[in-house]
Structure 1
Amino acid sequence: MRAFCAGLAALFAFLATALPVAAQTDRASEIEAAAQEIASIRTEVNADQIDEAAALEQRLRALRVEGRNRLTAIERELEATRAQIEFLGPAPGENDPPESDIIAGERSELEGQRARLNGQRTRVLANIFESGELLTRLSGARVGALYRTLVERGASPLEPGLWGAAWTSARDVSARVGRYFASWSEVKRGGGGYGRSVAIIVAALVLSLMLFGPVNRWIAGTFSTAVEKRKPTSARRVVVAGLKMAGRTVPGVIGGLIIIETLRAQGVLTPEGEVAARAFWVGVLSILIVSGFTAGFFAPSSPGWRIAPIDADRGRAVSRLALAIVLIFSLDTLLSAIGIAARADDALLRIIDALAATAIAVCVFLLCRSRLWRVEDEKSGEGWRLLRRIGRALTIIIIAAVVAGYVPFAHFIATRIVYLALFIGLAWMMRAMLAESALALRNSLSTETDRQDENESANYRFWSRLIINTLLIVAVTPAVLVLFGVPSATVRDLAGQAVFGFNIGGVHIPSVAKLFAAVLVFVVIMAATKLIQRGVQQGPLAHSRADIGVQNSLITLMGYAGLVIALFASISSLGFDLGNLALIAGALSVGIGFGLQSIVNNFVSGLILLFERPIKVGDWIVTPSGEGTVKKISVRSTEIETFDRSSIIVPNSEFISSTVTNWTHKDRLGRITVPVGVSYGSDPEQVKEILLQCAHDHPQIVSYPEPFVTWMDFGASSLDFELRAYLADISKGLTVRTELRFAIFKAFTDAGVEIPFPQQDVYIKAMPGGEASQKLKTQQAPAPETNTEAQPETDAEK
C-alpha cells in the first residue's frame, strides 16, 4: 500500500513540477522584470521627472493586472502542491521509522516547489502593492497639478489685447468649421448622394422633434395622472416633478441618439465633430432636465403639488433664471468643444470661459435674492437663507477671480455649481421615487392592521430611507470625486478596491461585495431557520402530545443551531479559514476567564436548562428572585412573569446554583390546604364530615389522592383542623380555596357549628386606688382568619 501511495505521489509530482518547470522559470523572470520596471517608475516619481503621467498610470495599471493574473495562477499551483503534500501524509517523527527514499525524495521536491511558489507569491504581492502605491501618488500629483493650474494668474479679460487675439482665433475657428462642412458636402456631391443625405438628416431631426408630444402625453396620462389622483405628500410631489422631467427628457435622449447615429451614418461626424455633437446633445438634455424639473418643482398651475414654498409668479422667475444658467452652461460646453476640436487659440478659450463664468455668477446672484424665497416656515427659511448667503459669496468670488485674471479658477467654481445642482436634484428625485416605491411595496405586502400601526410604519420609513440614502451616496460619490478633479481611472481603482478588497499592513480587508454576501448568507440562513422553526411548531409539534415546555425547548435549540450555522457560513464566505477558529477560541478563553465568565456561565446554564429541563416555558416556579410563570428561556437569562404582571429577568446560572420550587415540573397536580377552627363545644366527627363533603362536592378536587382532614391542635380558643385536597391543576389553587371557604362557612352555619372568636383571660393583681384583685374576662374583637400555610397565587387568579 505504501508503494502504491509512493507511485501516485511520484505521478502527481511529475505532473505538478516536471511539466511546468520552464513556465515557472519564465514566470520568475517576468516577475523580476516587472519589479525592475516598477522600481524605474518609482525613481522617476521620486525625482519628480514625470513627463507623461497618464502614460505612466496606464503602464502601472497594466503591470498590476498582470500581477493579479500571475497571483491567481500561483495560488492555484500552491493549492495543488499542498494537496500533494497532504496526500503523502505527515513526515515521520523522531521515534518513527524512516519513510522510503522515493517518498522522501518526492516530499523534498514538493516542499521545494512550495517554497518557490511562496517566494513568487510574496514578490507578486509586493509588485501589486507598489503599483497601487505609485498610482495613488501619480493621481495625487495630477490632482495637485490641476489645482495649481487653477490658481495660476493669467491675462485679465479687461485687457484689450486678449480680445483682439480671441477675435482673430474666432475667425479662424469659424473658417475651419466652414471648411469641415464644405468638405463633407463636396464628398457627398462627388458621390451623388448629397440630396439624399440632407433629406435623411432633416427627416431624423423632424422625427426627433415629433417624439416630444406623444411621449410626453403618454407619460403624463399613464403615470402622472395616476399619482395626482392621490393625496399630495412630499415624496409624491417629487415623483410628479420627476415624471414631468422624464416626459421632456426621454424624447430628448431618444431623439439625440437618432440624430447622432444618422449623422454618423451619413459621414458628417468625424472624431473631432463627434465631440462637438455630443457636447451639443448633453447641453440640450441638461436644458430639458432643468425645464422639466422646474415645471414640477414650482408647479405654477397646481399649487397642491408645488414643492417649493413660493407662489407661482416667483416660481416662474426662478425657473427662467435656472434655465438661463443651464443654457449658458450648455453653450459654454459646446463652444469649448468646438474650439478645442478646431485648435483654437488659448485667448479665445479664455474669453469663452470668462464670459460663461461671469454670466453664471450673475444669474446665481439674481437667483439668491431674498424676495424670491420668502418662506413662512422659520426652520426651512433659515436653511434657504444660509444657502442664499453661500450662493452670493460664491458669485462674488467668481466675478472677482475673472477680473483678477484667475479665469480657470472662476470657470471651475461656476461649472461645479451647475454640476452639483444637477447631481443633487437628480439624487433627490431618485430618493423620493425609491421611497414612494418602497412604501407602495409595503402597502401591497402588509395587512390593514400593519399599515395602521404607527410605530411599524415609522420604523419601516426610517430603515427604508436609510438604505436608499446610503445607496444614493455610494452612487453619487464617484461622480462628485471626478467632478472635483480626481482622475476617473483613480476613482475606478478605488471602486475596484472596494469591490475586490485591499490590504492594510499586510492584512487583507475583505471587499464590500464579500461583506454584503456574508451578511446576505447570514440573513438567508437565519430566515430559513425561522421558517423551519415555524413549520415544525405549527406542524409536527402542534399535532403531537408533547408538553409546551418541550416544544419551546426544541424550537429554541433549533434557533441556536441555525445561528451557529449562519455564523460559520458567513465567516467562511468572507474567506476566513475555519480551522483558525481554534486559535481565536484559545485567545477568547483568556477573556472568558477574566471578564466573560458570568456571560459564558449563564449561556451554558441556559443550554443545561433546555436539555435537562428542570424548568420550562409555562411552569409556575418560586425562586429567590421572585415567583411567577416562566415566559421565555433565552441565551443569557430567563423571563418570569409575576402574578402582578411584572417581569423578572433572572440569570440562568441562578437556576443551576440555587434551589428552585417548580409547582408544575412533572405535572400540574398539587395539594391545597384550608385551615379552619371550631369552638370547643363542636363535635369533631361532624366537623370532619362537613369538611370532606365540601371537598367532594367541589368539581376541581380530584378523587385520588383523596381529600382528608387533619386535627392539628387544641388551640387557645378553638379546635384547629385542616382540610387538605388535591387539584388536577394547581394553578387554580387560590380560586378553589376561596370557593371552599364559602362552602365551609355556609355548611357550618346550616349545621350550627360555631367558629369562635379568639378569647384571652386577663388577671389584674392590683387596681389603681387599692382595689382588690379581681378576675376580668375580656373578649377581644374578632380578628381576620389567617392561614398557616401560604399558597402562591397564579396568573389566572391575580
Structure 2
Amino acid sequence: MLMSVVRRWLAIGIMVLAMAQAAMAQGVGASEVTRWSVAAAAAEQLLDSENSTEQRLEILREEIVAFRTDFREATSQNAARITTLREQLAALGPEPEGEGATPEPPDVAANREELNAQLQTLLIPVQRAEAEFVRADAIVSQIDQTLRERQTEQLLETTPSPLYPVYWQPALADFKAALAGLWREKPEAGGLASDLRQTLPVTLSLTVLGLVLILRGRVWSQMIVNSLHRFGARGFGIWRFVVSLLRIFLPFAGLNLLALAAISTGAFGPRLDEMFLLFAFLGGMMLGVRWVSERVFSRDDDEALISLGPQDRRAARFHVSVITALIVVAALIAEIFDAGDPAPASKPVLMFPITVLAAVSLYLIGKILGRVTDPGQDETLGTELRASTLARMIRGLGKGAMLIAVVTPLLAALGYFRAADALLPPYFMTLTLLGLVMALQRFSADVYGAVTGIGVQARDALWPVLFGFILLLLVMPLLALVWGVRVNDLTELWTVFLRGFSVGESQISPTDFIAFAVIFAIGYVLTRLVQSALRNNVLPKTRLDVGGQNAIVSGLGYVGIFLAALAAITGAGIDLSSLAIVAGALSVGIGFGLQNIVSNFVSGIILLIERPISEGDWIEVGDQMGYVRDISVRSTRIETFDRTDVIVPNADLISGTVTNYTRGNTVGRVIIPVGVAYGSDTRQVETILREIAEAHPMVVLTPPPAVLLLNFGADALEFEVRCVLRDVNFMMVVKNDFNHEVVARFAEAGIEIPFAQRDVWLRNPEALRPAMQSPEAQDHTDAVQTAERAQKADDDIAPRADDRTGPKGATS
C-alpha cells in the first residue's frame, strides 16, 4: 500500500517535471506556449468560419508552420540519452512477472526503477511535442485543403458572356476610366518642376542608354557571333549559344533602364510606376520566349531541335511571337483594370478578342507540331518506321495545343473567364519551358562534345540525355506553378519529402539515403583502391599463381562491399531490426524463388576458396571446352577455341564433372593415331614414329614416347603414338607437326598410308525396271542386260583390281 502511494506521487512529480522540461525542450517559455494555444484555436475557428479571407489564412498558415517546425525539432531532443536508457534497461533483462517468479535483487530493482523514471522524464516532453506536431500538421493540411477548394470554386465562377453587345460599351468606358485614374494619380512627392530639374540628367542618361541597348543589342550580338565564326573559335556552337543570350539581356536591360528613367522623373503615381516595372518584366519575358523559339525552330536546319521544314519553322516562330505579345497586352489590361473599379463583365469582354487571337495562333502551332517527323525516318523508302519518343511527345503536345485552342474560346464565350484564363496561358508557358529544356539539353550535349572531342556525335550520347532528364525534373516545380499550384503546396510537399517515411520504429528520410550513398561510395572506392594495390603491387611479388591472386582480389572485393554496405546502414541510422519479421516472412518465398541463384552464389564462394579451377585454366565441362576467363559469385565465363564466351553457372562446376587440363601444371599427354597398309614392316614403322616423336622439341623424354600397334583394322594396321608434352596447350600444334613429318618419312621409306575402298553390287537390277514399257523400250532393255552379263563374265575371268589396297583405286 505504501509502495503504491509512493509510486503515485512519484508519477505526479515526473509529470510536472516533464511539462516544465517540454517547454524548455521546445525552446519556448510560457508566453510561447500561450501563443501556440491562441494561434491553434484561432486557426481552427477561422477554418470553421465561412467569412475567412485567403490572405488571413495564408498568414495564419505561416505562423502554424513555424510552430510545427519547433515541435518537429523537439521530438528529437535527448534522442541519444533515451536510446542509452533503453539499452541499459535491456541489459538488466526482463522484469520478473507472476506469482512464482523469483524476485530480483533489491539493487537491480532500484536501478531499474531509477532508469524507468529517467526514461519517463525524457519521454513525456517528446510525446507531448509529437502530439502538438500532429495537431499543427493537421491544421496546416486543413488550411491547404480550404485554399484549394476555394481556388477550384473560383475557376468555376461565371461572368456575363462577352458575346452580348450590351456589355461592350460599358467595358470600354471602364477601361478608359481606369486608365484615366492611373494617369491622374499624383506622385508621392510634390514640386514636380524642381524634381525634373534635379533628375533630368539622370533621366536623359538612362533613356539614351536604354534606347541604345534596345535598338543595337541584337546587332551587337550578331556582330560578336560573326567575329567568332570568322576567327574560327573552337566550340563555335557553344559560343553562339552563349552570345545569343545577349539578345535577351541587352534589350531587357534597356527596358529596365527606360522604366527607371520614367520612374526617376517623379511625374507619375505609384501604380503607374509599378506598371512601368511590370512592362519591363513582361518585355523580358517576351524576349525570353522569342529566344526559346529561335532555338527550337532555328533558321539553321542543323541547329533546329525538332524536325520541321523551313516554312513550318518560320510560321511557328511568328505564331509564338503573336501569342507572347497578346499575353503581354492581356497582362497590362488586367493590371489597368485592377487599378479601377470595373464591372464584372468588363474584363472578360476586352479579353475575349485577345483570347480568340491567341487560340488561333496556338491552334496553328499545334498543327505544325503535329507534322514533326522522326529524324531517323527515311521518307524515300515509303515505309513508316517507329517514331522516337521525342517525336511522339511533340506530336502529342501539338494535339493538346489544338484541343486547348478549341476549348478556351468556348469557355470564355460561355462566361467561364477564369477557367479559360487557366488553360491557354499555362499551356503556352508549358510549351515554352519544355522548349527551354530542349535548348539547354542541346547546349549540354555541345559542351560534352567539345570536352570529349567527339563533336556533334555527343548529341546522341548518354550523359547529355541524362542531363536533359535532370533538367526536366528541375523544371517540374515551375510547371506546377504555371498551372496554378500554390508555392505553399510545393513547400509542403518538400517538407513531407524531407520528413521521410516510417519503417517500424525507424524514420527514414532523404538525408539518411544521402548519408547511406556517401558512406557506401567511400567504402566502395576504398575497396577498389585496395584491390588495385594488391593486384598490381603486392600479389605479383608473392609466389601465388595467377588463379590464387585473382581469388584473393575477388574475395576481398566482396568482403569490402559487404562491409561498406554495413557501415552505410549503420552510419545512416537505419534500424533493420524492425524489418526482421518482414524478412523472415519473405525468406521462405525468396528461398524457393531464388534457390538457383543462392546455389550458384554459394558455389562461386566455394570455387574462390577451394580453387579447383582458376582463371587461365583449360577446362572441359559438359560439351564445352575452353579457357576460364572470369570467375564471379554467380557464374564462370569460359572462352572457347572459337573465341566465343560461354557462361556456365557455378553450380554446374561444383556438382558436375569438370576436366581441368592445366590444373597445377601444363604437362599433358597427347595421343596420335597412325594407320599403315597391310604388308608394311611394323618394326620399321615403329622406329620411324618413335624418332619423329623424340625429335619434337615439345615432347619430353621422361617418360619416353610410346608407339603401340593396337589393332588390325579393316583397312589398315592401326598404330598409336603416346607422348607427354611440356605444355598441353600446344597439343594441336604438336599433332600438326607430327602428321606432316609422318607423311614425309613414310614417303621416303615407301610405306603406304591406306584409305578405305568399297564396291557396290546390284543383285537384282531388273527390279528397277518400269512395270509397263513399250515393245521398243523392252527390246532396248534386253539388249542392255545381255551386254551387262557379258561384261560380268569377262570381269570374273580377269584379275580383281580392287583386291589390292593402295593409294588409288576405282569404285564402281
Q: Where on the TM-score scale, by shorter chain, does this alignment land: which range? A: 0.7 to 0.9
Partner Cα distance (1:391, 1:584) in 2: 49
| Contact 1:291–1:319, Cα closer than 8 Å, also in 2 | yes
- Judged with a 3 Å threshold, the aligned counterparts in structure 2 of structure 1 residues 199 and 665 are, in CA distance, closer, same or farther, namely same
Structure 1 residue 439 corresponds to structure 2 residue 449: yes
- Output the amino acid matched with 1:358: P
Q: What SS does the aligned partner of 1:638 have? A: strand
- C-alpha distance in 2 between matches for 1:382 and 1:592: 40
Q: 1:738 to 1:23 in 2, by over 3 A?
A: same
Aligned partner of residue 631 in structure 1, secondary structure: strand
Q: CA deviation at 1:670?
A: 0.8
Match of 1:323 in 2: 321
Cα offset, 1:43, TM superposition:
6.9
Give the aligned residue type for 2:341: D
The change in CA–CA distance for 1:629 and 1:382 in structure 2 (over 3 A counts) is closer
Count of residue pairs brought into register by the alignment: 731
For the residues of structure 2 that align with 1:317 and 1:778, how far apart are their CA atoms?
Answer: 92
- Aligned-residue offset at 1:636: 1.4
Map of 2:212 onto structure 1: 210
Q: How does 1:346-745 map to 2 (within 5 A)?
A: 346-347=342-343, 350-365=345-360, 368=363, 391=401, 394-441=404-451, 443-444=452-453, 461=460, 463-502=462-501, 508=507, 510-511=509-510, 515=513, 518=516, 522=520, 526=524, 529-530=527-528, 533-534=531-532, 536-541=534-539, 546-569=544-567, 571-572=569-570, 575-577=573-575, 586-587=584-585, 589-676=587-674, 688-709=686-707, 722-745=720-743
Task: Indicate how the Cα distance of structure 1 residues 371 and 631 shifts in structure 2: closer, same or farther if over 3 A, else same.
Answer: closer
**2:786 corresponds to which residue?**
none
* Counterpart Cα distance in 2 of 1:648 and 1:702: 33
Give 1:241 shift.
Answer: 8.8
After TM superposition, the score normalised by the length of structure 1 is 0.75
Task: Please show how residues 218-237 of structure 1 align to structure 2 within 5 Å.
Answer: 219-220=221-222, 226=228
Partner amino acid for 2:280?
W
Segments of 5+ residues of structure 1 without an aligned counterpart are 1-15, 761-775, 785-798
Residue equivalent to 1:79: 80
Distance 1:152 1:164 in 2: 21
Q: Give the aligned partner of residue 336 of structure 1.
A: 334
User: 1:90 offset after TM fit, Å?
Assistant: 1.4
Shift of 1:479: 2.1
3-state SS of 2:78 partner: helix
Query: How far off is 1:249 after superposition?
Result: 1.3
CA contact (8 A) 1:60 1:131 kept: no
Alpha-carbon offset, residue 613 of structure 1: 0.6
Shift of 1:252: 3.7
Counterpart pick for 1:164 among 167, 170, 179 = 170
Q: 1:525 to 1:324 in 2, by over 3 A?
A: same
Matches of residues 104-183 of structure 1 in structure 2 within 5 Å?
Answer: 105=110, 107-157=112-162, 158=164, 160=166, 163-164=169-170, 167=173, 170-171=176-177, 174-181=180-187, 183=188
Cα deviation 1:482-507 (Å, max 9, x = unaligned): 22222111122113333443569998
- Asked if the contact 1:711/1:722 (under 8 Å) is kept, the reply is yes
- Tell me by how many angstroms 1:365 deviates: 1.3
- Quickly say closer, same or farther: Cα 1:141–1:274, change in 2 above 3 A: farther
Contact 1:592 1:600 in 2 (8 A): no
Q: Does the C-alpha gap of structure 1 residues 259 and 737 become closer, same or farther in structure 2, counting only changes over 3 Å?
A: same
Conservation of the 8 A alpha-carbon contact between 1:434 and 1:468: yes
Q: CA-to-partner distance for each residue in 1:756-794, whole Å, 9 max, x for gaps?
A: 88999xxxxxxxxxxxxxxx999586799xxxxxxxxxx
Separation in 1, partners of 2:408, 2:217: 40
Rounded to whole Å, the distance in 2 between the matches of 1:109 and 1:127 is 28
* 8 A contact 1:668–1:728 mirrored in 2: yes
Q: How far 1:384 sits from its partner (Å)?
A: 8.6
- Displacement of 1:250 after TM fit? 0.8
Deviation of 1:606 after TM superposition, in Å, equals: 0.3
1:668 Cα deviation after fit: 0.5
Residues 706 and 575 of structure 1: is their aligned pair in 2 closer, same or farther, counting only changes over 3 Å? same
**Alpha carbons of structure 1 residues 176 and 44: separation in structure 2 relative to 1, 3 Å:** closer
Amino acid at match of 1:180: K
Contact conserved, 1:244 with 1:295, CA < 8 A, in 2? no
Equivalent position amino acid for 2:60 in 1 = R
Percent identical across equivalent pairs?
A: 25
2:342 maps to a residue whose letter is D
* Deviation per residue, 1:638-691 (Å, 9 max, x gap): 122333444433221222223322111101111122344668977776555433
Deviations 1:537-596 (A, max 9, x none): 444456666433233323322432343245445545654135667667645543354332
Letter in 1 for 2:76: E
Q: 1:635 to 1:387 in 2, by over 3 A?
A: closer
2:288 aligned residue: 289
Specify the alignment match of 1:199 in structure 2.
201
Deviation readout 1:132-185 (Å, 9 max, x if unpaired) = 45434433432332232233222344354674376257436524543333x43x
Q: Which runs of 5+ in 2 are unaligned?
A: 1-13, 376-390, 759-799
Do 1:548 and 1:617's aligned partners in 2 also have CA atoms closer than 8 Å?
Answer: yes
**Distance of aligned partners of 1:208 and 1:554 in 2 relative to their CA distance in 1, 3 Å threshold:** farther
Task: Give the corresponding residue for 1:12.
Answer: none
1:204 Cα offset (Å)? 2.2
Provide the C-alpha distance between the structure 2 equivalents of 1:570 and 1:521, rounded to a whole number of angstroms: 5
Partner residue in 2 for 1:772: none
Aligned equivalents of 2:518 and 2:83: distance in 1?
31
Offset, 1:745? 4.5
| Aligned residues of 2:175 and 2:336 also touching (Cα < 8 A) | no
The separation in 2 between residues aligned to 1:404 and 1:382, in whole angstroms, is: 33
SS at the partner of 1:671?
strand
Contact 1:224–1:243 (CA under 8 A) maintained in structure 2: no
Question: Offset of 1:432 from its aligned partner?
Answer: 2.4
Deviations 1:695-732 (A, max 9, x none): 22101112334334456578899876543322111011
Matches within 5 A, 1:738-753: 738-751=736-749
- Give the letter for the 2:277 counterpart: R
Aligned partner of residue 51 in structure 1, secondary structure: coil
Q: Measured at CA, do residues 710 and 156 of structure 1 come closer, stay the same or move farther in structure 2, by a change above 3 Å?
A: closer
Deviation string, structure 1 residues 463-484 (Cα, Å, up to 9, x no partner): 3354234323322222222222
> 1:69 is matched by which residue type in structure 2?
D
SS in 2 for 1:673: strand
With over 3 angstroms needed to count, the CA separation of the structure-2 counterparts of 1:438 and 1:100, relative to structure 1, is: farther
- CA displacement, residues 83-103 of structure 1 (integer Å, 9 cap, x when unaligned): 3564688115779996674x7
